[in-house]
Amino acid sequence: MFSFQVRVYWEDTDAGGVVYHAQYLAFLERARSEWLRALGRGQDALRSEHDLVFAVRAMQVDFRAPARLDDALQVTCALRECRRASLVFAQEVRRDGALLLDATVRVAALNASDFRPRAIPEPLLRELQALQGVE
């Protein structure tokens, strides 16, 4: 399971001093982006080399406990399913091992040039399929 550390800053919090619910989506996005980068498949390279971008199609999020200013969070990312034109990720946000949020995120493969659905290029598809379910 890929893990990415995020620090909670003032701009991430609401008037109550806790992380604003929508900011968690940015944390999840960063972890997925860093996961791709760690594979040597950064989003800019996918766009320029394959005319490929991934866009969130659906998301199920369970908020378990709040994060607060200055918390160091671990945001995880695991590929659960790789289909011809979509990926499904299991993601979590934890603080000191305590689960704060878990999510299932489906992303769709799109042409970067026109945002139309497309298949994931075969070499990348095989690489991703080898990673599904691996933690």
Out of 1.10.40.30, 3.10.129.10, 3.40.50.720, 1.10.540.10, select the CATH number for domain 2-131.
3.10.129.10
123 vs 103: CA distance, rounded Å: 28
What confidence score (pLDDT) does residue 134 get? Answer: 65
Does residue 101 contact residue 64 with C-beta atoms inside 8 Å?
A: yes
What confidence score (pLDDT) does residue 132 get? Answer: 86
Catalytic residue, chosen from 14, 51, 96, 114, is 14
Contacts of 103 (CB under 8 A, 6+ apart): 24, 28, 59, 60, 61, 62, 89, 90, 91, 92
Ranges of the chain with pLDDT below 70: 134-135
What confidence score (pLDDT) does residue 127 get? Answer: 92
Q: pLDDT for 110-124, tens place per residue?
A: 999 999 999 999 999
Entry pTM: 0.92
Domain coordinates of the chain in residue numbers?
2-131
Query: What does the block give as tokens for 103?
Result: 């999510």
Three-class secondary structure of residue 82 per DSSP = strand
What confidence score (pLDDT) does residue 135 get? Answer: 61
Does 14 participate in catalysis according to the annotation? yes
22 vs 98: CA distance, rounded Å: 20
Strand 98-111 with 72-82, pairing: unpaired
What confidence score (pLDDT) does residue 44 get? Answer: 87
Query: What does the block give as tokens for 105?
Result: 């995120």
